[in-house]
Amino acid sequence: MKNIEIRNKFLIFVIFNIFYAIFYLYFKHEVGNDTSISEWLINYQGGFTRRGLGGEINILWTNIFSISLRDAIFFSQATIHTLYLILLFFYLKDFKLNIYQFFALFAPIFILYPIAELEALGRKELLIFLFFICTLFFADKNFNLKIINLFIFIFFPLVCLIWEEIILFAPYFAVILIQKNKLVTFRETFIKLLIIFLPTIIVISIIFAFPLSKDGHSLMCSFLQLEYNERCYMSAELLVKNTIYFDTFFIHERASFFPHYFRYLMIFFVGFMPLHLSIFKNEFNEKDNFVTKNFKPTQLYLILYLPILLLFAFGHDWGRWIHITYSFSILLYFYFLKNSLISNNFYNYIFVNWIFKKKSVLILTFFIFSFFWNPKTLLTGDIATNSLYKIIYNSSKIIFNFNGLRIFQDNPIIKFHKNFIE
């Protein structure tokens, strides 16, 4: 099958996502119970705490530009999201993708997810994605390996101070470092990575060793109330209640295998399928470093997924964890492709051959897969439907100030729209 040039299609998609990301971030930033705002309120005014650096940066913007704290948070969120998507476009614009890779690029658990599931929009993982795409740029052969080594050495621990759970995705960065540094033996790989990640290890150790006290949390919340008339809620309120000592297993008390866990197994299976089909049966082209010498691509990805299981065990934002895991995984795959590190063979699997026979069926399948569903944020949340339509429809309600399609309310079509589409 002929490969697809993505530049123009992907540019339109990126512009669409930037527009709606900024639109919804602006719409959300004054909402009093929005989680994506609350986690950016965490700061050091009550003492050192995990995730406090992000709040301190926003307080700095507030003081420099004489704006409200929520406006500073909106500015940070919009800037991070926009920069990430712009860099992503420039990284991928020259690709020509086969149909599996094309489906994988437009998977609903990747770029579209934050604006389809607004609870995920503006969260700190976008900073992590921005950090990772910058790492991919510095991993290019045109850059000296010292640049990427210093980049990770300096900035990874700083990012940990904003969102410490990035440590579970450190293996993705390690794969890039191993490839760039041409590390072959276990010994040199271990020593080199230990040196590069040493500041990160120290920072994570400090975060675990010195959690914020209840008194410190009260001081932080009082500071927010007195200085900015902001209360501690959601993430800021749970900063002490939900600790980092793996004692939040209670989140599973309300979940059961059917439908909750089974639903997410299917989300993982279907959502990751195009990516896994692209990887399956393909091999690393050169056996010149520790990763490519010892692992096949499928084995590597299974290993990369293992640390992330901690998020699913101790955090209930399963939709976000799927989105983050997929984003890292597909970006790493495109890094392999861009640098010709992995074979790019296309296999006509029996169970998908029939889809490719008719163009109309293929297009319909693509739109249903990419734009008609997405996981909700929480483990116990159902699957959302009509994602692309709802993004446009719900924004139109805000822009044009109408409550919904209510003409001819007894009409079966209107009833169906109200009950199943909205």
Question: How far is it, in rounded angstroms, from Cα 278 to Cα 276?
Answer: 5
Q: Is the pLDDT of residue 404 over 80?
A: no
Condensed to tens digits (0 to 9), the pLDDT of residues 202-217 reads: 999 999 999 999 999 9
The pair of structure tokens assigned to 235 is 């993430």
- How deeply is 160 buried, as exposed, middle or buried, from its count of CB atoms within 10 A (0-12, 13-18, 19+)? buried
Question: How far is it, in rounded angstroms, from Cα 60 to Cα 64?
Answer: 6
Question: How far is it, in rounded angstroms, from Cα 300 to Cα 186?
Answer: 15
pTM over 0.85: yes
pLDDT reported for residue 350: 67
Question: How far is it, in rounded angstroms, from Cα 113 to Cα 81?
Answer: 12
Would you give the DSSP letter of residue 375? E
Give residue 258's Cα distance to chain centre.
Answer: 26
Question: How far is it, in rounded angstroms, from Cα 297 to Cα 276?
Answer: 10
Domain ranges within the chain, ordered by starting residue:
4-347, 389-421
CA-based radius of gyration for the chain: 22
pLDDT reported for residue 399: 85
First CA to last CA across the chain, in angstroms?
38
Which has more confidence, 1 or 386?
A: 386
Give kind and range of the element (H or E) at residue 5. strand 4-5
Q: Which of 73, 56, 51, 183 is nearest to 128 (CA)?
A: 51
Contact 380, 369 (CB under 8 A): no
pLDDT reported for residue 193: 98
Q: Taking all residues of the chain, what is their mean pLDDT, rounded to a whole number?
A: 93
